[in-house]
Structure 1
């Protein structure tokens, strides 16, 4: 299954949240729009994630849609046991949750519901704010390799 699913190209995101101890975040490619009315999104998070429970506790998160040239950012937020925000430029969004600099878009959400889905948690976010970046060049992931549009 892993081999075949790697052939489905996706965008890349970093999910960010904030706790009393500071910002948290992780790289995620399992993101999608769910509903326009009401505006909802879906993220599928590995149950082994140590960052996601902290975000759940706050109830708020931002989907940072990565753009071309942000490969190092995707890799940094995919590594466990590191200070993922070291040397990362960000600003607080409307709800205080980090928006990473240089992204294609930012989607600020409130956690609405979670469901168990195998080895993942399916989380539904109610969209509270949508911000478009200045670039229209997304970072893509296909066959375990970063890609960009031609």
Structure 2
């Protein structure tokens, strides 16, 4: 058995596999695609696409998502202290790409309305979850963001947009 150097162990994440293998294997698990939105104090909307969103607790009602520490949008949303998670439908890939692209006006031409908290609810999403920021924890190269749900609604009974093995798709019922 060969003993690797400290540098080699770091490259293998101290586990015996590299980040490319980690990403490839976890890519076999499909994730939903959401846009987390907020309104900054000067009135401009801010948003980011996330594929790592989950429910956490019924009592109290909590949800979570996991922005990268390198995100430029997350610090802006965090400062606001409230946000809305918009679950995208399978026909909203163009909207997803527009919000994900870098640039100053990600919301150009995107119709939305304000939630009770003031956060943008994007038109025609499958569902939305309006939250106040409950807690933020560091987790490796990401944050764990907990949101306390204050309002939510399923807007349309449609197929959600999914991300799977590096591509976008939709869910199909088997029965």
Distance 2:157 2:98 in 1: 21
Whichever structure has more strand as a proportion of its residues is 1
Partner of 1:75, secondary structure, is helix
The answer on whether the counterparts of 1:103 and 1:135 sit within 8 Å (CA) in structure 2 is: no
| Aligned equivalent of 1:87 | 109
Runs of 4 or more off by more than 6 Å in structure 1?
Answer: none
Aligned CA RMSD, in angstroms, stands at: 1.0
Q: Secondary structure of 2:109's partner?
A: coil
Q: Identify unmatched segments of 5+ residues in structure 2.
A: 1-21
> Partners in 1 of 2:45 and 2:133 — Cα distance?
17
Matching residue of 1:16: 37
1:67 aligns with 2:123: no
1:129 aligned counterpart, secondary structure: strand
Deviates more, 1:118-127 or 1:71-80: 71-80
Q: Output the CA distance in 1 between the equivalents of 2:104 and 2:163.
A: 23
TM-score by length of 2: 0.83
Q: In the alignment, which of 33, 38, 56 is matched to residue 60 of structure 2?
A: 38
TM-score by length of 1: 0.96
Distance 1:4 1:103 in 2: 29
Cα distance in 2 between the residues matched to 1:3 and 1:109? 32
Shift of 1:82: 4.0
Moved more, 128-137 or 36-45: 128-137
**Conserved 8 A contact 2:40-2:76:** yes
